[in-house]
Structure formats: structure tokens, C-alpha cells
A and B are shown apart, each in its own frame.
Chain A
Amino acid sequence: GAVVSQHPSRVICKSGTSVKIECRSLDFQATTMFWYRQFPKQSLMLMATSNEGSKATYEQGVEKDKFLINHASLTLSTLTVTSAHPEDSSFYICSAREGTGGKTQYFGPGTRLLVL
């Protein structure tokens, strides 16, 4: 099956710093990638949808200037949490969808972010 990787798997940073999370589709081209956030004991909440070569579409309540998304190639999307604060500590999960019109999203293993 299709594989999606994320890097890093976990990161600890100081408050006020920026953190970049990478999401890669390893064996297919993903024209669309999705970023989710999951707080402890909660479900996944969609943050934004990114299409290769265009600006990301953010969900209501998600600050686009704080969560910068770049989808510069068909296999890579990045999420940068700028000026991170403790309340940004969460599990960030990306998913990728093949560009052939398929509807299956393949999920990455997630990145655990802890902001001190």
C-alpha cells in the first residue's frame, strides 16, 4: 500500500521558536495533502488542505500565519508552527491523496510536538 512518512516523529522546542514538520509520499504523487491536529484523547481535526503549487486552504479558526504550509512538490508538504507556544503542543498528522482522482487518503505516522 501507499506509504506516507513524517519527520520528525517527535520534537521538543522552547516557547517562541518555530518548528517545521515534513510530510512525504514515498511511492506516489500526492497533488493534495491534508494536515490534522489531534489533542490527547480527542479525534483528528482538519487544519488545512494543501494542493501542490497553490496556497493552502485553512479551516475556520486555524491561523494561516501561525501554521505555514508549503506544498512545493508532488511528494512533499511542510507544516511550520511559528512562534510555538505550549498550547500548540499536540500530535500533528498529515495525509496524502493520489493525484489520479482516487479518494483514498494515506496517513502518516504523526509528529508529537511538545512546546516547553
Chain B
Amino acid sequence: TQLLEQSPQFLSIQEGENLTVYCNSSSVFSSLQWYRQEPGEGPVLLVTVVTGGEVKKLKRLTFQFGDARKDSSLHITAAQPGDTGLYLCAGLGGSNFGNEKLTFGTGTRLTIIP
């Protein structure tokens, strides 16, 4: 059972457009991470957010952790073809899970059309 729901599941947009991916759960997490995964490769960590309400920026990517530490969002500005990939959120230390485990979200497959 997936307990971290991401939306949308699939997203295909034109180069230069903006987009937001959401990650929602009923559980509180001590921290939340975002990964990007290319086909046939392992996930690569993009960012970790720890504090409720925290906002982190990584070039054109903006990550926000919800005030209650149950949800997060990833916003990409002026998307580029290189942003194409599977984006995964993952919560650590959820109230319903063991503290050591990362629980991955359902994933958002993003395609940027040149």
C-alpha cells in the first residue's frame, strides 16, 4: 500500500512552461526528500527538507515542506528537456512507519517536450 500519494502521476508539458508536483500523506515525517530517477538507474537525491514550512531552491526547482510536515511540493520554473524523468518524494521517520525507513511516493513521470 502506497501511503505517499503524488500528483499528477504523469505530466507532459512544453519546454519553458512551469509545473508543480505534489506529494501528500496522512503521516507526519521528520524529513522529506525528493529524488529524480532516470530509466535504468537508481534515484538521485535532489533535496531534503526538515522543518515545517521550509522552502529550498535548487536552480529552477523550488521545494516546499508543508507546515504540518505531511506534504510537500516541487515547482519547476521554465522546464527544460533535461528535467525529464521520474520524480519521487520519500518520507523518513513517519508517524506510521519505523524511523529508519524511507517510504517512497507513487512517483510523477515528467516529460518535457522540446
Residue numbers of A with Cβ under 8 A of B are 4, 6, 32, 34, 36, 41-46, 49, 91, 93, 95, 103-105, 107-110, 112
B104/A45 in contact, CB under 8 A: yes
Q: Given A103-B31, A110-B41, A110-B42, answer yes or no on A46-B102 (Cβ-Cβ < 8 Å).
A: yes
Residue numbers of B with Cβ under 8 A of A are 2, 31, 35, 40-45, 48, 88, 92, 100-107, 109
A49/B48 in contact, CB under 8 A: no
Bound complex: CA A110 to CA B37 (Å): 11
Bound complex: CA A83 to CA B105 (Å): 30
B104/A43 in contact, CB under 8 A: yes
Selected from A42, A45, A49, A93, the residue in CB contact (under 8 A) with B42 is: A93
Q: Given A42-B107, A43-B107, A103-B92, answer yes or no on A34-B102 (Cβ-Cβ < 8 Å).
A: yes
Selected from A91, A105, A108, A112, the residue in CB contact (under 8 A) with B102 is: A105
Bound complex: CA A112 to CA B41 (Å): 10
Could you name 20 residue pairs across A and B whose Cβ atoms are closer than 8 Å?
A4-B42, A43-B2, A43-B104, A43-B105, A44-B43, A44-B88, A45-B104, A46-B101, A46-B102, A49-B100, A103-B31, A105-B102, A107-B42, A107-B43, A107-B44, A108-B42, A109-B42, A110-B40, A110-B41, A110-B42
Bound complex: CA A105 to CA B102 (Å): 9
Selected from A36, A43, A105, the residue in CB contact (under 8 A) with B106 is: A43
Selected from A4, A41, A104, A107, the residue in CB contact (under 8 A) with B48 is: A104
Query: Nearest 3 CB-CB pairs, A to B?
Result: A107-B42, A43-B107, A44-B104
> With a CB–CB cut-off of 8 A, which chain A residues contact B31?
103
Bound complex: CA A42 to CA B35 (Å): 14
> With a CB–CB cut-off of 8 A, which chain A residues contact B105?
43
Bound complex: CA A110 to CA B107 (Å): 17
